[in-house]
Amino acid sequence: MLHINNNTLKFEFPEIHREAVCNISLHRTTAVARQSVTSLVNEGIIPLFHIDDYSKDLPLRLLKRGGVIAPAEKEQPLYIKLSGNYPFALKIGVGKINAVSGCPWSEHLNADNQDYLVTPPQSSFAGYHEGNGRFHQFVVTALGKGATIEEQVAGTADIGGIQIIAYPMKRTAYEDYCRNCTRLSLASPASSSELGIAKGDLIAQKIATDTYGSGVWEMDSSSRCFVHLLEKSAFRKITGRDKYGHPAKIFSLDRWRRANGR
């Protein structure tokens, strides 16, 4: 099951194991050109709300996807924080482009050319992998203006947002894992309010290799979530909420375009 707790997506699989919990949250940050993601500044968690709570003010196309809505600002860098002790394999999409592999979206795990994150040990994910170890920081941008990863890779502006699928480790594999390790205790055009993810500056992101082995993931029990990113003013109009937090320092996409000759 999947629910929202403290603005965090909590993926739980009590039917597999009582400890099978993975927490995923989105955080605003600053641009960290060519720096390690360990130097990311947490400028605040991005709040999440059930999309169904605002069904009368949102287009059917978005409602059909279910999931949650999150307010965001254009040109805002963000990162995804992962936490939990139980091992999970996670697929992360940006506009249904796999952010780990740079390939079009698919729901199965590709272990040969690892296209998913493994947490633990992975604790954060901040950039889109365009190949050859080159990661671009996630930066929110308008959908439909040609700047999103989805538009640059797939040539369409239909999806936007962030997609997540969580696969827990099989119970038997987890029990083996516990024995062998010590853990810490602890289709219509996009509206102007819809946002997607663009490529920001290059960052030093590492993807933890799946050392558990691809056979340990419970492929029959996954849970997924569509995170709709909505422009802040539209979000305020739809939800009536103004509790958003202070805008972080804005990364200039224009500056990045100039620097990269685009």
Partner 1 sequence: MATYGDVVRQCREELQVKDRSYSLRQVALRIGVQPTYLSKIERGEFPPPSEKVIRQLAEELNQDPDVMLAMAGKISSDLLDVIVKRPRLMADLIRQVKEMPDDAVVRIVREVRDGDW
Q: Which residues bind partner 1 (CB under 8 A)?
A: 1-6, 9, 12, 14, 18, 42, 50-52, 63-68, 83, 96, 123, 159, 163, 184-186, 223-226
CB of 205 to partner 1, least distance (A): 18
Dihedral sign for Cα atoms in the order 55, 60, 65, 71? negative
Q: How far apart are CA 136 and CA 163, in angstroms?
A: 18
Torsion of CA 77, 127, 92, 209, to 10 degrees: -150
CB of 15 to partner 1, least distance (A): 10
CB of 96 to partner 1, least distance (A): 7
CB of 105 to partner 1, least distance (A): 9
CB of 222 to partner 1, least distance (A): 10
For partner 1, the closer of residues 18 and 257 by Cβ is: 18
The pair of three-digit structure tokens given for residue 66, joined into one six-digit string: 């279910």
Q: Rounded to the nearest 5°, which phi and psi values hold at 145?
A: -105, 5
For partner 1, the closer of residues 119 and 141 by Cβ is: 119
The pair of three-digit structure tokens given for residue 42, joined into one six-digit string: 């947490």
Give every CB contact of residue 62 below 8 A, 6+ residues apart in sequence: 51, 194, 228
For partner 1, the closer of residues 65 and 134 by Cβ is: 65
Give every CB contact of residue 41 below 8 A, 6+ residues apart in sequence: 29, 30, 32
For partner 1, the closer of residues 45 and 250 by Cβ is: 45
CB of 227 to partner 1, least distance (A): 10
For partner 1, the closer of residues 51 and 234 by Cβ is: 51
Listed residue (78, 94, 234) closest to 151, CA to CA: 94
For partner 1, the closer of residues 148 and 163 by Cβ is: 163
The pair of three-digit structure tokens given for residue 27, joined into one six-digit string: 């955080």
